[in-house]
Amino acid sequence: MSEPFVYLKGEFVAASQAHIAIYDASVVLGATVTDLCRTFGHIPFRLEDHAARFYRSCKYARIAPPLTSAETLEVAQELIRRNSAFLPPDEELALVLFVSPGELKVYAGAAGGAGDMEPTFCMHTFVLPFRFWQHYFTDGVHVVTPSIRHVPPQCVDPKIKCRSRMHWWLADQETHLVDPNAVSLCLDLDGNVTETSGSNFLIYTGNEIVSPSRRNILPGISVATVAELCDELGVTFVERDFQVYDVINATEAFLASTPYCLAPVTKINGLAIGNGRPGPMLHRLLNLWSERVGLNIVEQITMRDGPHSQGD
Amino acid sequence: MSEPFVYLKGEFVAASQAHIAIYDASVVLGATVTDLCRTFGHIPFRLEDHAARFYRSCKYARIAPPLTSAETLEVAQELIRRNSAFLPPDEELALVLFVSPGELKVYAGAAGGAGDMEPTFCMHTFVLPFRFWQHYFTDGVHVVTPSIRHVPPQCVDPKIKCRSRMHWWLADQETHLVDPNAVSLCLDLDGNVTETSGSNFLIYTGNEIVSPSRRNILPGISVATVAELCDELGVTFVERDFQVYDVINATEAFLASTPYCLAPVTKINGLAIGNGRPGPMLHRLLNLWSERVGLNIVEQITMRDGPHSQGD
Amino acid sequence: MSEPFVYLKGEFVAASQAHIAIYDASVVLGATVTDLCRTFGHIPFRLEDHAARFYRSCKYARIAPPLTSAETLEVAQELIRRNSAFLPPDEELALVLFVSPGELKVYAGAAGGAGDMEPTFCMHTFVLPFRFWQHYFTDGVHVVTPSIRHVPPQCVDPKIKCRSRMHWWLADQETHLVDPNAVSLCLDLDGNVTETSGSNFLIYTGNEIVSPSRRNILPGISVATVAELCDELGVTFVERDFQVYDVINATEAFLASTPYCLAPVTKINGLAIGNGRPGPMLHRLLNLWSERVGLNIVEQITMRDGPHSQGD
Amino acid sequence: MSEPFVYLKGEFVAASQAHIAIYDASVVLGATVTDLCRTFGHIPFRLEDHAARFYRSCKYARIAPPLTSAETLEVAQELIRRNSAFLPPDEELALVLFVSPGELKVYAGAAGGAGDMEPTFCMHTFVLPFRFWQHYFTDGVHVVTPSIRHVPPQCVDPKIKCRSRMHWWLADQETHLVDPNAVSLCLDLDGNVTETSGSNFLIYTGNEIVSPSRRNILPGISVATVAELCDELGVTFVERDFQVYDVINATEAFLASTPYCLAPVTKINGLAIGNGRPGPMLHRLLNLWSERVGLNIVEQITMRDGPHSQGD
Amino acid sequence: MSEPFVYLKGEFVAASQAHIAIYDASVVLGATVTDLCRTFGHIPFRLEDHAARFYRSCKYARIAPPLTSAETLEVAQELIRRNSAFLPPDEELALVLFVSPGELKVYAGAAGGAGDMEPTFCMHTFVLPFRFWQHYFTDGVHVVTPSIRHVPPQCVDPKIKCRSRMHWWLADQETHLVDPNAVSLCLDLDGNVTETSGSNFLIYTGNEIVSPSRRNILPGISVATVAELCDELGVTFVERDFQVYDVINATEAFLASTPYCLAPVTKINGLAIGNGRPGPMLHRLLNLWSERVGLNIVEQITMRDGPHSQGD
Amino acid sequence: MSEPFVYLKGEFVAASQAHIAIYDASVVLGATVTDLCRTFGHIPFRLEDHAARFYRSCKYARIAPPLTSAETLEVAQELIRRNSAFLPPDEELALVLFVSPGELKVYAGAAGGAGDMEPTFCMHTFVLPFRFWQHYFTDGVHVVTPSIRHVPPQCVDPKIKCRSRMHWWLADQETHLVDPNAVSLCLDLDGNVTETSGSNFLIYTGNEIVSPSRRNILPGISVATVAELCDELGVTFVERDFQVYDVINATEAFLASTPYCLAPVTKINGLAIGNGRPGPMLHRLLNLWSERVGLNIVEQITMRDGPHSQGD
């Protein structure tokens, strides 16, 4: 079979048949809760943690997925099993979960009108396009702070993974004026560093790995992994607000994200961080992480044909 | 033919065939720009104004629709012509335009990878479900100020009509705890009144009709119409920040929105505004507006079978 | 009779018998709504406006006075009539209205517990102690901006006259470090000028009289009078945010307040405003106001024995 | 004697004779500093800590109580002794201290005018109305986040216990629209969780008990007790900003307050916290606390006739 | 005579001899108040307005220039007369005034220590380097909004022209990452458009010329001139907050600044404003302005040899 | 030789010849990065730390000093060696480093215009005027919180030591209205305590020494020394936001600054801190610090002729 399955509205369907109605709240409101997990050697990594975070997001957003958490885990495993069956061993899957409140009656014509909205629940996979991130590991990532600010928690709490992401789209448009390969690092309304549109952001400075305080960020599972690795390595891991000055003068900086785990950030707003090259702390962390998952994370990403630079 | 057309990716297709890929930025990012227009007697009202606002939103969001503004107007007219052909005379259409940056290559597998994203552009219609708003005119609207705040312009400018609307979804969930029929009236980060998820909000007080200042709201075409009507009626129309106190002590208050034009707000947070009934200024405005469009706006909405209360 | 009457909980009682229980919400929570009116020649000035503002404050605070607005006006007139009967003609009364939610059941023991709280409603008068304000007219007022900020409208709207005034007490303590006779002029959280604890604040600059925008201030009846007088004098009256710079560089500045109408502000933070003396615009306004009320406002205040400096 | 004593202006008087003048700053300005202590078995609990906090509040507010701290402790002990003499053993007293700057000369007529204001200092007791809080322990508390925000420290520092509490009154009015038995949990201006009008708020999550950071809350003596109990139980106690998301997804949540020590919060904005029932951490803490004070805290509160629901 | 004069500390000295001590507050604190005026045909333009603004800034900053305003005007005229004596007719002078609190005693060793600081007052001129701004009129200006925000008025009021401008330096460094010729347009802390480091910023939209509200900007004398010209042209001139959206969708936009009067802004953040070319309103304003000063403003600037692009 | 050397633009020159051009960015923009180190017994204290901080500031400000860090250290040592050669043993030097972007071409006439700006780099010394700080140790410091707020990090990060200090000048002018010897302690925009214009601020409370969080302050080398001393003394050193309340109720408070190391703060806004006298924790810290540097820090400062009170 050449086409992956998608689990949509209670059924496994062929990906090419997986569509969302234009009346769905996911299209009309962006009121979608989501999460994303990946495999290592075709085995999902911390799937339970991702599912738990997904259900926490759903509770906050008051969107009840039609499946229990246990059922979701089961379907997820099944979907990964099916979609990785014919996958080469050096390819990995991302698993995406999302749920919206369902189709909007006003838009849909709403003939009946009596019943409640039924949530649209979907799980699908895609092959991790490693070449998108190869240049992260060869050149390092350039982050840019645009004038657009991160949405504050009294509007939408960044601790939920949701799909109302216009501010990130806008941030990226500004950022790409500086460098088409750069990644937006949004500040909060008070000028604190937060996260990027697709990853958490960490700095290594004064023998501490520092994460922005929880108020402004998704509680990243990769960050949690980093914290555990720090513990093993005897490196202090702390959470506190920091600012652009601290990034400029950090020893190293990283993006932490499910698809590529941990990538070196070597420039901010055109200024080199440290010596402008991926540093030893990155390698210590990635080596330990690689041991945990039984494969060389960086090698898997970079051992492809020619790197690709447009990282959207 | 019993099914309306949808204009999607350059073609008129049957509504039941109009789907969005689960990899589209409209689903994944909520990075969609939209607008909505309605007909009176099957003739679109201020379509040019809606299209102009749509193109201003697109420019801000740096999403280039594949059609020029002139082409969009042409297709819109054609779509309305087609979809209202078999419509009873007392039914009206809403016309929706939206555009997203297109399918995300990372999610879609990104086989080619070379080319740019192609915007997903769609126009569709739906029959205005007047009975959703009947109770607005019989009972008046109850607005509630939730603890959730409106997204500020340094994150996403509220002057664009976009579909990253999770904060509105969250606001409505809170609001419905007070009254399942109530409508959220979000405050900005400084406690100023802004707008509701589907309409502008106006107060009539001290012989002025007051709109919140432009920084916090969509520049409503219905509000622009109200301003013109005020001019004819010799009523002052002003824009300035105001707060919940001013709503509580207003003479009248209104929702201004394309589908139902202008509806009376008779309660805020459980307190009656004025005498708690739709007031004379509302009627003066709606009468004049009805004259303009050649039909009785309120009668058209309310002359249906039994009202409906769940106003989502 | 030598003792004034107080109208308390529905009865006229002698002032010395007018007490509030220590369990009353006015004592325990400061959750009291109030207003204050004065007489000219023993006739209350704009009493209806004060009563209307009082009822707007009550509605906002959801405290329902036991009397209707009409009854309140009647009792107020009666109280002034009684208490001014034996007053010398050159003395004037202040009339105070206040209402609290009533006695708190938890604190009071709350034997019954079934019934609702009964609002504590009181009207009383005091002879205007003109000598407190004499030095305002001879020396001018010195305003100081303390580090304490005005409470913003999303906490308690300054448009209601209420008695949770600890921030004003704190502000005055700081201000008196600079000058024991100075009056606190609080800034809002963004550094805009607001009002003083007992008056509105106005500047005269570039042939405009400017009031801070409505968001930060009590809608003063004296300010409304000034606006009317400006109209007669052909002086522009506007409302907009301004900052300390504008006060420092104003031509004149004023306090507007019911007891003394309009007083010159001649210093801010130790710097002279204009030439540091009461100016011609003040006199034009006060002369016209005096005409309106049929007596010389400043003369009445200043024709007493020795001025007094501690203006609390 | 059937009537409790009140210590007012230097004397023990019968409660029915304890009145505050309508000219007192406590009535006119809400500029009152207060504290509240309770007894266990008629013995005051941590009275010294309450007195120390009271004197810290007084110093901040620059209101000097006429008694030294040592004298206050003595009078407090005496008052409790007197007022608990005829109290049944299963009843307990609350002891209230408060001080205002005294009677306002302008309002009082201010005959003399020369002297300084004399602070009004009062201590009184009331029998703890346990039945008000019974439903906290049977059903759990429902907290609601209103649109009203907590007063920030640059206006009045929440670390002082004062009686300018209009914002809490307003918050409660909004909250009761959702649930007449719910308790307001105000957010700060940045959307962080703070406290309720009568208690501190804590969450238990990830094996930590978390208190909001000190900037936004009264430094609760019950919270200090909880911190000590945590120490004994080997549970981490930390202070940091958190948001509504964290409450929604907490394992348990609590109100900490002098009268009832620690009560379970089982709902926020209509959503169950944990399984929506009082949890095991609550019981561990209350059991240990009960041991400390030599009586079963919950039993004492709940072993009364029929619960009462209006919890003001 | 080949060298211009500088008026420094009370004397006319040769420019090459005009130095500031490294202990001066202007070097150590940036606590300098300044202003800048230019000539048309060697006659200073609105010199009195510039001097008046300078003295308003000085009063705010509590730095007393050693000369009265009248003396300053006299010296300024003399300096212009001297320094333009040998200037070709098509060259013009800028006149700079500045004053600092003087030399800091701690740094200077402060032998005596008794006396007060003596302000350092300086006036100097420079030939307007028109070629720096030629490309403004040929290509239009590109403005960029950096992540750095404008200093708010509760720190330093932007209404004073002062030399603590590090935030502008930082803003420009960020801006030049996008385009080395672009000019920083800083937002305020709430995301409103303010000004650039060297000019006011105006938009023309909906037949109004709009200036940001006064709270955030230097009260530009060029802006005042534009307001007067608008009056003559029958164009509305208003002041209100606006945001990046409004600039993107404006008809035209301008920089208003003493050296070059009014320049077209044709791009913001890479997006064309209007049709991306200098527009007709600019020319109407500059033509009228040119009439006023009796020479063609743009011609004078652009009629030089080859344009220059690095506009610092 | 009786005159100290200054290292300016690559050369050692006599102090009296060390001038800055009036066209230099340090004069025109205040865009100067600086640092300050002192000697103990003519040996510089933590010079490497000061140099490292200086280079971090430079990197943030994108001003590249013409010397490498190593060269700077060398020149600094040489300068101290030269300038302390004839210094009495009980006198000490302060060493100042500063760099500006250089002379501004527009102002300077910009004849050539082609080349880049050349940074102006300077190192100089001054004899520490101990008598300025004597009264700190005899009377204690009085800090006052003015209405002026500290510049937030999204404008200029306080972590760099720069010379755009107008807000500090303004703050001091306000502060001196309360007490001409008082020192400004600015609050941030949220009301948190930050630092003074010349020192860090610390409180000692509940057996912790607390520093404001890093977001608002220069990372003081003296504070770092205090943290190390705390470690030796078994005192907890923490960083967190605190407010005026915490200072008022602290046990002790200190200024930490390079010239005088650590001074007692005994009053805030007129209120005594602790018992209003320098306390034992101060002495423990200073004694240990004195041991480290081999001389009695306080004795050296106070053993001069008559104290001096104007501490600018």
**Chain F residues inside the 8 Å CB shell of E162:** 166
Q: What is the DSSP string of E160-214?
A: S-BS--HHHHHHHHHHHHH-TT-EE--B-TTS-B-B-SSSEEEEEETTEEEE--G
Q: How confident is the prediction for chain C on average, in pLDDT?
A: 93
H/E run at residue C33: strand C33-40
Query: Does residue A266 share a domain with residue A140?
Result: yes
For residue A146, the chain E residue with the least C-alpha distance is: E147
Regarding whether E173 and E256 lie in a shared domain, the answer is yes
Full pLDDT tens readout for chain D, 312 residues: 478 999 998 999 998 888 899 999 999 999 999 999 999 999 999 999 999 999 999 999 999 999 999 999 999 999 999 999 989 999 999 999 999 999 987 777 654 444 578 999 999 999 999 989 999 999 999 999 999 999 999 999 999 999 999 999 999 999 999 999 999 999 999 999 999 999 999 999 999 999 999 999 999 999 999 999 999 999 999 999 999 999 999 999 999 999 999 999 999 999 999 999 999 999 999 999 999 999 999 999 998 654 444 433
At least 3 CB pairs under 8 A between chains A and C: no
Q: Are residues C259 and C163 in the same domain?
A: yes
Return the H-helix or E-strand segment holding F229: helix F221-233
Q: What is the pLDDT of residue C113?
A: 45
Kindly report the nearest CA distance between residue D215 and chain F, in angstroms: 7
- Distances from the Cα of B272 to the Cαs of A119, B210, E122, in angstroms? 35, 19, 64
In angstroms, what separates the C-alpha of D183 from chain F's closest C-alpha? 27
Is position A37 within any domain? yes
Q: How many CB atoms lie within 10 A of CB D233?
A: 14
* Residues B49 and B138 occupy one common structural domain: no
The DSSP-derived string for E289-306 is HHHHHTS-HHHHHHSSSS
Residue where a domain stops, chosen among C98, C128, C158 = C128
Which two tokens mark B137?
């005119």
D169: part of which helix (H) or strand (E)?
Answer: helix D166-178
The pTM assigned to this predicted structure is 0.96
Domain shared by D95 and D149, yes or no: no
CA of D154 to nearest chain F CA: how many angstroms apart?
5
Is residue A276 left, alpha or beta, with left meaning phi > 0 and alpha meaning psi from -120 to 50?
left
Judged by CB atoms closer than 8 Å, whether chains meet at D269 and B174 is answered as yes
B219 is a domain residue: yes
- pLDDT, position E114: 42
Cα end-to-end distance, chain A, whole Å = 29
Mean pLDDT of F230-241: 98
Q: Would you say residue C312 has pLDDT above 90?
A: no
Residues 6+ away with beta carbon under 8 Å from C68: none
**Same domain, yes or no, for C59 and C24?**
yes
Yes or no: say if A100 and A24 are a contact pair by the CB < 8 Å rule.
yes
pLDDT of residue E305: 59
Chain F residue with Cα closest to A271: F59
Indicate the number of domains in chain A: 2
How distant is the Cα of A146 from the closest Cα of chain F, in angstroms?
12
Residues D120 and D155 in one domain: no
Q: How far apart are CA F230 and CA C298, in angstroms?
A: 63
Task: Please indicate, yes or no, if residue A309 is contained in any of the structural domains.
Answer: no
Q: Look at residue F114 and tell me whether its pLDDT is greater than 60.
A: no
Task: Give the mean model confidence (pLDDT) for residues C175-192.
Answer: 98
The alpha-carbon gap from C221 to the nearest alpha carbon of chain E, in Å, equals: 27
Tokens of D190: 């940045």
For residue range E161-198, what is the model confidence (pLDDT) as tens digits?
999 999 999 999 999 999 999 999 999 999 999 999 99
pLDDT tens track for A59-80? 999 999 999 999 999 999 999 9
Helix or strand (DSSP H, E) at C44: strand C43-44
CATH label of the domain that carries residue B103: 3.30.470.10
Contact D282, D271 (CB under 8 A): no
Among candidates E59, E153, E190 on the partner chain, residue whose Cβ is nearest the Cβ of C248: E59
Whole-angstrom Cα distance, residue B183 to residue A252?
48
Contact yes or no for F191 and D154 at CB 8 A:
yes
For residue D19, how far is the Cα from the chain centroid? Answer: 22
Spatial separation of the C-alpha atoms in residues B289 and B301, rounded to whole Å: 14
Residues on chain C bordering chain E, Cβ-to-Cβ distance under 8 angstroms: 187, 190-192, 240-246, 248-249, 271
Domain assignment present for residue F122? The answer is yes
Backbone angles phi, psi at A163, to 5 degrees: -115, 25
- Sign of the Cα pseudo-torsion (E167, E169, E172, E177, in order): negative
Cβ-in-10-Å burial (0-12, 13-18, 19+) of E70 comes to: exposed
- Output b/e per residue, F236-268; b: 16+ Cβ within 10 A: ebebbbbbbbbbbbbbbbbbbbbbbbbbbbbbb
Q: How many helices and strands, by DSSP H and E, does chain E display? A: 10, 15
Whether the pLDDT of residue F109 is over 90: the answer is no
Closest CA of chain C from B203, distance in Å: 15
Pairing of strands B183-184, B120-127: unpaired
Compute the distance between CA of residue E192 and CA of residue F263 in angstroms, rounded to an integer. Answer: 42
d(CA D152, CA A273) in angstroms, rounded, equals 37
pLDDT tens digits for chain A (312 residues)? 478 999 998 999 998 888 889 999 999 999 999 999 999 999 999 999 999 999 999 999 999 999 999 999 999 999 999 999 989 999 999 999 999 999 987 777 654 444 578 999 999 999 999 989 999 999 999 999 999 999 999 999 999 999 999 999 999 999 999 999 999 999 999 999 999 999 999 999 999 999 999 999 999 999 999 999 999 999 999 999 999 999 999 999 999 999 999 999 999 999 999 999 999 999 999 999 999 999 999 999 998 654 444 433
Q: What percent of chain A stands above pLDDT 70?
A: 94
For residue D225, how many C-alpha atoms fall within 13 Å in the half-sphere facing its CB?
Answer: 25
Chain C contact set for B248 (CB, 8 A) = 56, 59-60
- Asked whether residue C310 is assigned to any structural domain, the reply reads no
Give the residues across from A254 on adjacent strands.
A202, A264
What is the residue whose two structure tokens read 């030269």? F82
Neighboring chains of D (3 or more beta-carbon pairs < 8 A): A, B, C, F
| DSSP assignment string, C60-125 | HHT---SS-HHHHHHHHHHHHHHHHTTS-TT--EEEEEEEE--B-HHHH--SS--SPP--EEEEEE
Distance CA A191, CA A245 (A): 11
Both ends of chain E: CA-CA distance in Å?
29
Taking alpha carbons only, the member of B176, B122, B26, B57 closest to residue A100 is B26
Give a yes or no: residue E307 inside a domain: no
Average pLDDT, chain B: 93
The pLDDT value recorded for residue C166 is 98
Contact call for A and E: 3+ CB–CB distances under 8 Å: yes
Strands C200-205 and C252-257, how do they pair?
A: antiparallel
Q: Are residues B213 and B112 in the same domain?
A: no
Examine the domain organization and report whether B79 and B138 are in the same domain: no
Residue among E59, E259, E263 at smallest CA distance from E162: E59
* Average pLDDT, consecutive stretches of 10 residues, N- to C-terminus, chain B (312 residues): 87 90 94 98 98 98 97 98 93 97 78 67 95 94 98 98 98 97 98 97 96 97 98 98 98 98 98 97 98 97 61 36
Of D211-225, F70-84, F106-120, which range is least confident?
F106-120
pLDDT number for residue F306: 47
- End-to-end CA gap in chain B: 29
| pLDDT-derived band at E86, boundaries 50, 70, 90 | confident
pLDDT tens digits along C11-34: 999 988 888 899 999 999 999 999
Query: Is the same domain home to F64 and F142?
Result: no
Tokens standing for residue E113: 């220590």
Q: Of F28, F117, F132, which is closest to E163 when you measure between CB atoms?
A: F28
**Domain end marker among C128, C153, C169:** C128
D-chain CB neighbours of F191 within 8 Å are 152-154
Q: What is the pLDDT of residue B310?
A: 40
Q: What is the CATH number of the domain that holds C151?
A: 3.20.10.10
DSSP E strand boundaries for chain A: 5-8, 11-14, 19-21, 33-40, 43-44, 93-100, 120-127, 141-144, 183-184, 200-205, 208-211, 236-239, 252-257, 261-268, 271-272
Tokens of D6: 């009140």
Q: Which residues of C touch D164 (CB under 8 A)?
A: 30, 163-167
Residue that terminates a domain, selected from F128, F151, F176: F128
E17 and E33 housed in the same domain: yes
Please tell me the predicted confidence (pLDDT) of residue A305: 59
| Local confidence band at C1 (pLDDT 50, 70, 90 cut-offs) | very low
Structure tokens that stand for A160 in this block: 């939920």
Q: How far apart are CA A112 and CA C219, in angstroms?
A: 50
Tokens of residue D253, six digits: 């949540």
Task: Give the mutation candidate from B143, B145, B147 for the D interface (greatest D CB count, under 10 A).
Answer: B147
Q: Which chains are within 8 Å of B by 3+ CB pairs?
A: A, C, D, E
Assigned domain for A73 exists? yes
Phi then psi for residue C8, to 5 deg, are -135, 125
- Rounded to a whole number, what is the distance in angstroms from the first to the last CA of chain F? 29
> Domain range for residue F29?
5-128
Which residues is F99 bridged to in the sheet?
A: F33, F121
Residue B89 located in a structural domain: yes
Contact: A159, D271; criterion CB under 8 Å: no
Residue A139 to residues A203, A259, A278: CA-CA distances in angstroms? Answer: 18, 18, 8
- Across F153-180, b (16+ Cβ under 10 Å) vs e yields bbbbbbbbbbbbbbbbbbbbbbbbbbbe
Residues of D in contact with F193 (CB under 8 A): none
Which of F158, F153, F156, F148 lies closest to F217 in space, CA to CA?
F158
Residues D37 and D140 in one domain: no
